[in-house]
Structure formats: C-alpha cells, structure tokens
Structure 1
Amino acid sequence: MYEGKIIKFYREKAKLTQQQLGEGICSDTHVSKIERGMTDYSPEITLLFSKRLGINIEEEIKRFKDIKKLLNRWHDAIIKEQFEEAEMIKDELEKEPLIQITDYQILYGLLRARYHLLHNRLKQADTIIKAIQTKHKELPPYERNLLKHLLGIYYLSKQDMIKAVNILKTISADDYKNPEYLLNLAAAYLAVNSKVMTYYYAEKSLQFFISTNNFLKVIDAETIILMTRESDGNGDFQKLVEQYKGLIHTCELCRVPNKKARLLDNLAFEYYSRQDYEVASRMYQQSMVLKEKKSVAFLISLEGFIRTCFEGNLLTNNELIMLCQEGLSISMEIHQVLYTINFKLLLHLINNQLREYYSYLSTDALPYLKKCGYVTLVQRYEKELFNYYLKIDEKSKALELADILINAG
C-alpha cells in the first residue's frame, strides 16, 4: 500500500519515467500498477526500485507512517496552546519531504491554517483555506469538519458572528471527534446574545477540557460561563468578582497574560455597568498593558477605557479625543471595521456632535452590526436611536424602530 506511493514520490523527485525506473526490472505498465496499489509484487522488485532510487524502502515506510502521528501531535499542541511544541513540530514537518504525498497534503494544509489562526495571522490562514477549497471539492469526513472549525475560528476573529454560528453548528461530532469546537460555538452564541446556548456549549467544552487536562482551555470555558451569569444583588456581584479574581490568579500561575487581560476586560465591564468608573478604568488600563498595541484585543480595552472615562468624567475631552484618534488609527491599519465604527461613534459623542452621531449610527453602524449578528449592540443602539427620534419629534422613524424593538423582545 505505502510502497507504491513512496516509489512514485521518489521516482518523480528523481525525474524518472515509469519506463526508466522499470528498465531491466519490469514493464512500465507494471510500475504504474505498483504505484497505484493495483497489483501484487515481490519484495525483490521493491528492493530493486529502492536501489535505483537510492532509498531504504523500510525506513521510508516507517517515516511515512510517522507523519500522521506527527500531524496529530501538532494539532494537539495547537489545541493546548503549547506554542514551543507547536513551533518545533512545524519545523520538523517542513523538513519532511514525504509530507508532499497526497494522503497527508489536505490535513497538513488545514493544520497550517490552524497554526496561523493560533497566531492571529488571518490573511495567511485565509489564503490556505481558499486554496484547499478550490483544489478539493470533496474532503474526507474529518478534514471536512476541521475545515468548518477553521472557518468558524476565522469568522470569530473577523467579528462576523452570524457566519461563525452558522458554520460551527454544522460540524458533525461523530466525524470530527474534537469537542474543542464547542468552545468556539459558545463564544459565537455569546456574541449573538444567546446565553442559554452559550452556557450549554461552554459547559460541554469545559468537561472535555477537564478530562483532557487542557487547563488553558478550562480558563476560556469558565470565562465564557461567567459571562452568562447575571448578578442581581450586591452579594451576587461580590461572588462574581471573587470568581473572576480566582480565574485571574490561575492565569498568573499559568503565565498566560492574554487570558488574564481578557478577564480584566470582563470584570472592568461589570464595574462599568454598575457605574463604578474609577475601578473599571483601572482594570481596563491593567488589561491594555498586557496586550500588543496593534491588535483587536488592545482595541477592546481601549474602547472600554474611553467609554468609562467619558461617562465617569475621568479625563478631559482633549485627552479622550487623542485616545479615540489612536484607536481609530489602529482599527483602520489592521482593517477592523467594527472598531473603526466604534471609535468614530465615540468621537462624535465626545465632540458633542449628536446629529452626526445619530446619522452615522443609522446609516453605517447599525446596518453593519446587524449583518454581523451583534444582537446586544444592535438592541442598545436601536433604543438610543428610538429615544433620539422621539426627542427631535421624528415620530414616523420612532414608530419604525418601536416596531423592531417590540418584535425583537
């Protein structure tokens, strides 16, 4: 089975025809059948082929079989966010010539895309994914579902939550055998404000990560579960704060500053929601320090910090405008439409340009947010717009929005 594929690979590498390889050994027709696994042949023939090609066929068969194990180890290292291990395996695979044999090309390509997504290199991942989709109309079951998972991660990174939900929920658990995708599905449902589905999939993913000792992903799953919980009284809120602090401490022990930063953002938002602007602003600042400046993660913290300082009157307008311009510049440079919109809206608010703010909200922001599935943001902005139309006596527009809001409720 393997011998024919390996012989074909090294024959083509040596730029020999089937006739040249078989000369004095067997016919070119027989060579063709051996390469395609369509005939029986004696060990003596493969030995003669090996000698002519300058290879040890037994060693090559072992290497060929080991590639699948190496690919599985690479995927496991990526899932567990073991960056050094993933880098070492990537380098090893890149030096392996047999990876080019068709059996592993699709899986190798998909895992290369997954590796780029791990490092948030969306352009490189997208290029690989599109190339695979173009070349391979029909994929084996596992690879087909892995592709769906990659697309889900890609859409999440691109802030297109509706596409993320729609693709991730079509994954076949029986064919894929990688429940990690349930965490991504939970994150997508959280973004579209479906908290029941969020909790359900986050809890399922949590059990999987606990069973596989994937402690970093346990933090992610527990973070999402915390975000589905609502605290009514002060006692509930203090309990929520303690849970967040416990996870933050775990991040410090595991030395994962990116996860700690995300938790700080979430806790900052909890304080912001309760109008405790001083504490919220400090937490957003702590989070920003842990992040790469030209990243979506940094923009999340920066936007939260600006909103907190604006509503809490903690900075001057000039200081806020400078921060907004910085955020807008980064958003445009890294092609983040959502944050470009958010910082433009903030600039209008800070400059007290209410007419421009609501005009931009109506014509640009809301259509984009609806298209991408940001349910919570859409509902918040529609309520803002409704109140504004009532205030300026635009009753027909207010009635249109009222109808939307009633149906949404």
Structure 2
Amino acid sequence: MEFGPLIKYYRTQKGITQKELAAGICSIPHLSKIENNSKDANEETISLLLARLEVSFDEMEEKEELIKTLLRDFGEKINFYLREEIEEIYQKLKQIEHVVPFSAYMYTYELYKYRYLLFKGLLSEAEVQRDILHKQKKNFSQHEKYLFRYYNAVFLILKGQYKKADAIFDELFVENNNGFINGEFLYHWTFVKSSLDQPGHAIHFGRQALQIFMNQHNFYRILHTLMVLGINYSRSSIYEEAQVCFNHLIRNAELLKEEKILPQIYHNMGYLQNRMNNVKDALRYYEKSLSLQPIKNQHYYVTLYAMGEIYYNLNIIEKARECFLLISSQSKEIVGVKKQSLLSTFYLIHMESPEKAMKFLETKVIPYLESAKEHKDDLIRYYKLLSEHHNQNGRYLEAVNYLSKIT
C-alpha cells in the first residue's frame, strides 16, 4: 500500500492542514516528504498519522488484500463467463475504488475495468478506458502489458475488426511462447479465425480451447467453443463432427437452462442439415429456432431468410415469397441483415423477371458482398450464377470474368 499518497488523500478530503496533522507526530517537512513518497516512514509514524485521520492502518492493509482477492476472483469469473458473479465482484470493487490507486493493483484494476466494460458490450465507455490506459502503459508490468494488448484484441473483435485482432493474437502467441496463453485467449482467437473464414485455423485453436475448458469444467465456455467448432466443421464439410458438436450443445444448453443460446444452436443445426441435403430436417430446426426468437431481431431475419431460400429451391414459391416479403418490408431498420434484405429482394425480382434479377445481383448484391467481405462460399455461389447467366446469353467475356473471380 502506498501510504504517503493515501495520507494526503484523506487529509485533503477532511480539510486538514499539514501543520494540524503533523502536530506532535512529526515535522511538517517530514510529513510533506512522506505524502510525496520521497521519504520512507516507519510503521508507527504512519499508524499515528492515519489514526489522527480516523483511518485504521490494519484496515488499509486488509483492504489491499481484499483488492488482490477480488481482482483474482474477478479474472476467474470472467474466464468462466459467470455473469451474476462478475457483476457482484465488480460492485464490491467499486465500493473500495477510492483505495485502489494507493494499492499495488492500481493498473490491474483499471485493466479489469476495461475487460468488464467489454464483457458488458459498453464499447464507448471501453474506448475511453482504453485511451486512459494507453497513457499509462509505460508503467505496466509485463503481464499488465500482455493484458492490455489482449483486451485491445477483444475490443477489435467487438468492433468487427477481425484482421487487426488476428494480428495482435499472432504477436502475443509468438512473443509469450504460450506463457500467458489460456482457454479464453484461444477461444477468442478461434472466433477471429472463424470470422475471417479460416475454418482450418478455427478448428485447430477451438479444439485446444475446448480441451482446456473441459479440464476446468468451464461449462459456459464449453458451449461457446462447441458452437464455433460446429459452425467450422460444417463449413469444412466435416459433418459427423459438426453434428456431434450441435447434439452436445442442445443437451447441455437445455441442462444449464441456457435458453438464450438455443435459437442459435437450432439455426446452426439447420444450416448443417441443409449442407447435408437433409432439407426437411433443416426446415424443422430453422422453425424451432424461429419459434424461440423475438420478431424484429437480427437473428430472426437471418433464420427466416434461410427458410425462404430452402422453400425457393424446393419450388415452394408462395412460402418462399412470404419469407422474402417479410424480410424485405420489415428488416430495413435492423442492423446486421442488409445481406438478407438484398438477397430477399433479388429472389422477389427473380420470381417476376430473371433478367432484371441478374442485373440487380450484379449491381447491388455482389458489390455489397465483396465490400462486406462475406464468406467466400456465398460469393462463389453468386459468381457461378452470373457466369452461367452471361454464358447462356453469349456474353463470354463477362462469364470468364466471374469464373476468374472464383479461381
């Protein structure tokens, strides 16, 4: 505990002069040096000064130990994704926040505060906290420097800047030679690799993260990791492993009463069944997902679009039209569904005029998919469609252009 600055803090807070505080205990110059940490003081002098300020020496030492314990527990609860316990510990830390700057854990506390804001999704506040920490980083320990860079990578994930986040993870992994690498780190890197459409890397890191979480009995992170693994096994056509992941997810989510994650599990199981050409099962899982989702929600429209596409491919045109019309008319103000909105419009036009639909695909859909850096499978599919269309109409140069984009 930095007792000098602590004494100064309480003295100024209580409106006591240095002369009043020092009287009968030490000289005023001696007190001034103590307050500015330029002179060590013995425990007896510190105790007398604190007693006059009506602050207990032992209580301050206990609070420093409490800060240490709470921060250790806070990091653990974050890693185990225990929402209620994270909130409880954070509120306890807030109650003794005024003491933290005088402890040995000042920067660690501020770093964990940054992580808490990221955990809550409070990105504007997290950005302010990041900038404050950036000014102090020269004072960080090696581990604090690692935490700051790692949390910056998490911040970039939440901002959708996956390439920048990936670069940080790569640097940290090489520099630390596995020294600070844990399940949480590997899970976030798995998520980044998945978002960058690198399923091989996502599976590699995801399996490592899953093993760590299983050894720790970290049930919530097991669910999250199984989800990302299942998605990437599906993309890699490793269907048996994907099915194992989603079956585990369904059982465990129901056991843990994690109802919020079930719609996403059912959606991804539907995606897997569709890739396996089990369209009836795909529709069944999509319908289960839709039944658990609130209307006018991003994920609701993503699932509805997936159903519409299956109906269209099965030539059940009226049901497909119903899905696409709902998306086209209701999703304009919903963040994250522009792709589904554009493609719904494409299919609606295609029902009336295939030629106009192809023009819309070429001028509206493809530019968006390319700029948004959507998964390559989506782009390849529509490149092929346009190439075939141009080829059938004798526009061979345009057809070759789209084929070259695929290769």
Q: What is the TM-score of this pair, normalised by structure 1?
A: 0.82
Counterpart in 1 of 2:83? 83
Which deviates the most, 89-98 or 173-182?
A: 173-182
Counterpart in 1 of 2:354? none
Q: Which amino acid aligns with 1:284?
A: Y
Q: CA 1:25–1:123 in 2, change beyond 3 Å: closer, same or farther? A: same
Which of 203, 218, 222 in structure 1 is aligned with 2:207? 203
Matched, 1:93 2:97: no
Matched, 1:343 2:341: yes
Deviation per CA, 1:161-186: give whole Å up to 9, x if none. 32332222222555635431101111
Deviation per CA, 1:285-328: give whole Å up to 9, x if none. 32244446566544543443343344343715244212343333
Q: What is the TM-score of this pair, normalised by structure 2?
A: 0.82
Deviation at residue 88 of structure 1 after TM alignment: 1.2
Q: Which amino acid aligns with 2:167?
A: N
Q: Percent of aligned positions with the same letter in both sequences?
A: 19
Deviation at residue 116 of structure 1 after TM alignment: 3.6
Deviation per CA, 1:251-281: give whole Å up to 9, x if none. 1111112333332122110122234333323
Residues 308 and 320 of structure 2 are in contact (CA less than 8 Å); yes or no, is this contact kept in structure 1? no
Q: CA 1:291–1:67 in 2, change beyond 3 Å: closer, same or farther? A: farther
Q: Which amino acid aligns with 1:249?
A: R
Q: CA 1:156–1:292 in 2, change beyond 3 Å: closer, same or farther? A: farther
Deviation at residue 189 of structure 1 after TM alignment: 1.1
* Alpha-carbon distance in 2 for matches of 1:254, 1:294: 27
Deviation at residue 201 of structure 1 after TM alignment: 0.8
Between the two structures, name the one with larger relative contact order (CA 8 Å, sep ≥ 6): 1
* Alpha-carbon distance in 2 for matches of 1:198, 1:276: 25
Q: SS of 1:257's equivalent?
A: coil
Residues 2 and 103 of structure 2 are in contact (CA less than 8 Å); yes or no, is this contact kept in structure 1? no
Matched, 1:212 2:248: no
Counterpart in 1 of 2:353? none
Deviation at residue 188 of structure 1 after TM alignment: 1.4
Computed over aligned residues only, the root mean square deviation of the Cα atoms, in angstroms, reads 3.3
Q: Which stretches in structure 2 are left out of the alignment for 5+ residues?
A: 351-356
* Alpha-carbon distance in 2 for matches of 1:29, 1:400: 82
Of structures 1 and 2, the larger Rg is shown by 2
Counterpart in 2 of 1:187? 191
Counterpart in 2 of 1:22? 22
Residues 267 and 285 of structure 2 are in contact (CA less than 8 Å); yes or no, is this contact kept in structure 1? yes
* Alpha-carbon distance in 2 for matches of 1:42, 1:141: 31
Counterpart in 1 of 2:157? 156
1:253-268 to 2 correspondence within 5 Å? 253-268=255-270
Q: SS of 2:334's equivalent?
A: helix
Q: CA 1:167–1:394 in 2, change beyond 3 Å: closer, same or farther? A: farther
Q: Which amino acid aligns with 2:71?
A: L
* Alpha-carbon distance in 2 for matches of 1:102, 1:325: 57
Deviation at residue 50 of structure 1 after TM alignment: 0.6
* Alpha-carbon distance in 2 for matches of 1:326, 1:171: 43
Q: Which amino acid aligns with 1:347?
A: T
Matched, 1:144 2:148: no
Deviation at residue 18 of structure 1 after TM alignment: 5.1
Which deviates the most, 16-25 or 249-258?
A: 16-25
